């Protein structure tokens, strides 16, 4: 199956500066970006892609079936844009916007769950499947092949930059990626690591998962529980950043909005321990990560569906 779908892709907010750049890079890479949406801009084009006033207009004006929308609009407009996509029947939303009001995101995620629509983000650089040249978002920039080549390693990362760093590390080790997902750096996201792992595991091309975690949130602990329960069975190699944060005052934010330690919650040492106890391979460096993944693959591990 395809983790990121197979239909056409649209960008809501395509005439914005960053979205224009993403559109150009996506088209060059080969992603089936078939339309853009910006109210009042219908008739224009970006990177050869037609712009429509609404998602409904785009779906009616394009023959290709559309299954994914990249939302790249100001924070205050994300809820309205997401609802518009849901009403139009879009099955997958990738929210690039950072700083979305929490109450808006709560509403959007609840409405998406009620319709069984997948949401990646907010505050996500997107996701990529190199084997099909499907790139949703800014991930990989203008030359995704520098970091992402086809292979059997799934990547889940709370950091957009580290998504690419892991991909580059794997490529240099002679390995490749099935699908890489930047789940987003906020504490309220649509596809936390546990759900992302289950999604990647459903793809026979994913033999191993590499996880990059950060301080804050119970996301990594929830993944460990899913591993212990036997729900996540693909081997997990985890790099958890931020050990130094445990020496700083409680409640200090470290970069991403969700990277806050409160009491015992969100401590990197706890995340490392529970993942190891659940059978995960916890590493300290990118080089160690590449070595463990290489060894696991040489040991002959393949997905149960192969």
| Residue 242 confidence (pLDDT) above 70 | no
Asked whether the beta carbons of 166 and 155 are under 8 A apart, the reply is yes
| Residue 248 confidence (pLDDT) above 80 | no
152 is catalytic: no
> What's the rounded mean pLDDT across residues 176-203?
95
d(CA 205, CA 190): 23
* Burial track 2-19 (b if 16+ CB lie within 10 A, e otherwise): ebbbebbbbbbbbbbeeb
| Residue 299 confidence (pLDDT) above 90 | no
Q: What is the pLDDT of residue 300?
A: 61
d(CA 167, CA 170): 5
> What's the rounded mean pLDDT across residues 243-264?
51
| Residue 12 confidence (pLDDT) above 80 | yes
The DSSP 8-state label assigned to residue 182 in this structure reads E
d(CA 21, CA 47): 9
Q: Where does residue 233 fall: left (phi above 0), alpha (psi -120 to 50 degrees), or beta otherwise? A: alpha
Q: What is the pLDDT of residue 216?
A: 76
Q: Which two tokens stand for residue 228?
A: 């212990």
Q: What is the pLDDT of residue 298?
A: 83
Number of helices (H), then strands (E), belonging to the chain: the values are: 9, 14
Note the helical H segments in the chain: 17-29, 55-61, 78-87, 102-114, 160-172, 193-201, 219-228, 268-277, 286-298
Of the candidates 273, 267, 217, the residue with the CA atom closest to the CA atom of residue 243: 267
Query: Measured at the alpha carbon of residue 137, what is the angle toward residues 253 and 92, in degrees to the nearest 5?
Result: 95
DSSP three-state, residue 246: helix
Q: What is the pLDDT of residue 247?
A: 47
Chain-centre distance for alpha carbon 194? 12
d(CA 22, CA 84): 21
Catalytic hit among 25, 152, 207, 256? 256
User: How many of the other CB atoms lie within 10 Å of CB of 61?
Assistant: 12
d(CA 228, CA 278): 5
Q: What is the pLDDT of residue 1?
A: 55
pTM (global) more than 0.85? yes
DSSP string of 16-54, one letter each residue: SHHHHHHHHHHHHHT--EEEEE-TT-TT-EETTEEEESS
Give the chain's domains with CATH numbers.
1-123 (3.40.50.720), 147-306 (3.40.50.261)
d(CA 219, CA 271): 9
| Residue 257 confidence (pLDDT) above 70 | no
d(CA 47, CA 33): 10
Q: Residues 6 or more apart from 143 whose CB is under 8 A from it?
A: none
Q: What is the pLDDT of residue 244?
A: 47
Q: How does pLDDT run across 82-101, given as a tens digit for each residue?
A: 999 999 999 999 999 999 99
């Amino acid at each position: 199956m395809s983790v990121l779908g197979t239909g056409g892709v649209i960008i809501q907010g395509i005439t914005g500066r960053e979205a224009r750049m993403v559109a150009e890079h996506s088209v060059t890479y080969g992603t089936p970006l078939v339309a853009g949406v910006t109210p009042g801009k219908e008739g224009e084009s970006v990177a050869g892609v037609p712009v429509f006033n609404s998602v409904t207009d785009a779906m009616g004006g394009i023959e290709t079936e559309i299954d994914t929308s990249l939302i790249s609009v100001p924070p205050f407009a994300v809820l309205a844009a997401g609802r518009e996509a849901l009403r139009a029947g879009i099955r997958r939303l990738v929210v690039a916007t950072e700083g979305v009001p929490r109450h808006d995101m709560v509403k959007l995620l609840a409405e998406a769950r009620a319709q069984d629509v997948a949401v990646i983000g907010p505050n996500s650089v997107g996701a990529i499947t190199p084997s099909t040249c499907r790139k949703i978002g800014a991930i990989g920039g203008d030359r995704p092949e520098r970091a992402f080549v086809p292979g059997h390693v799934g990547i889940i990362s709370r950091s957009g930059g580290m998504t690419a760093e892991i991909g580059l590390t794997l490529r240099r080790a002679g390995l490749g990626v099935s699908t890489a997902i930047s789940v987003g750096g906020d504490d309220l996201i649509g596809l936390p690591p546990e759900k992302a792992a289950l999604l990647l595991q459903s793809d026979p091309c994913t033999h191993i998962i590499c996880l990059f975690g950060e301080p804050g949130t119970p996301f990594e602990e929830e993944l460990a529980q899913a591993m212990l329960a036997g729900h996540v069975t693909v081997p997990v190699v985890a790099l958890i950043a931020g050990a130094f944060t445990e020496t700083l005052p409680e409640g200090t934010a470290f970069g991403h909005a969700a990277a806050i330690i409160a009491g015992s919650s969100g401590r990197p040492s706890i995340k490392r321990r529970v993942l190891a106890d659940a059978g995960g391979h916890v590493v300290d460096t990118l080089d160690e990560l590449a070595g463990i993944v290489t060894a696991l693959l040489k040991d002959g591990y393949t997905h149960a569906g192969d």
